[in-house]
Amino acid sequence: MTDLPALISRYAERFATLGGGTHHISSPLGAWLVLALVAPAAEGDDQQQLLDALGTDARSAQRAAAELLAEPHPAVVAAAAAWTDPSSARLIQWSGSLPKTVETGAIPSQAAADDWAREKTLGLIERFPVELRELVVVLASALATRISWSIPFEFADASELRGPWSRELDRVLHAGPSYAHHTAIVDTDRAGLVGIHTAQGEDLAVTSVIADESVPPADVLAAAHEIATSDVAEVSLFDLPQGEHPLWTITEEESTWSGEHLEAVLPAWSARSQHQLLDLPQLGFGAAGRTLQHLAGDGGPVEAIQSAVARFHREGFEAAALTVAAVAAGVPMARPGPYRTGVVRFSHPYAVVATALAGEDDRWDGLPVFAAWVAEPENAQD
With CA atoms as reference, report the closest residue to 138 among 294, 277, 34, 278.
34
Per-residue pLDDT tens for 241-268?
999 999 999 999 988 888 898 999 999 9
Per-residue pLDDT tens for 73-94?
999 999 999 999 998 899 999 9
Pairing of strands 77-84, 103-106: parallel
How much is the pTM? 0.94
Residue 284 near residue 35, CB atoms below 8 Å: yes
Confidence label for 333 from pLDDT (cuts 50, 70 and 90) = very low
Per-residue pLDDT tens for 128-180?
999 998 899 999 999 999 999 999 999 999 999 998 899 999 999 999 888 89
One-letter amino acid of 242: Q
Residue 332 pLDDT greater than 80, yes or no:
no
Q: How far apart are CA 56 and CA 62, in angstroms?
A: 10
Task: Tell how many helices (H) and how many strands (E) occur in the chain.
Answer: 9, 19
- % of the chain surpassing 90 pLDDT: 84
Residue 198 near residue 177, CB atoms below 8 Å: no
Per-residue pLDDT tens for 178-192?
889 999 999 999 999
- HSE on the CB side for 139, CA within 13 Å? 30
Q: Which domains does the chain have, with CATH numbers?
A: 4-147+270-327 (3.30.497.10), 149-268+332-378 (2.30.39)
Per-residue pLDDT tens for 30-74?
999 999 999 999 999 999 999 999 999 999 999 999 999 999 899
List Cα–Cα distances, 101 to 31, 37, 66, 83, 148, in angstroms: 17, 11, 6, 14, 28
Q: What is the pLDDT of residue 177?
A: 85
- HSE on the CB side for 279, CA within 13 Å? 13
Q: How far apart are CA 90 and CA 78, in angstroms?
A: 27
Average pLDDT, the chain: 93
**DSSP helix/strand/coil, 212:** coil
Q: What is the mean pLDDT of residues 287-315?
A: 94
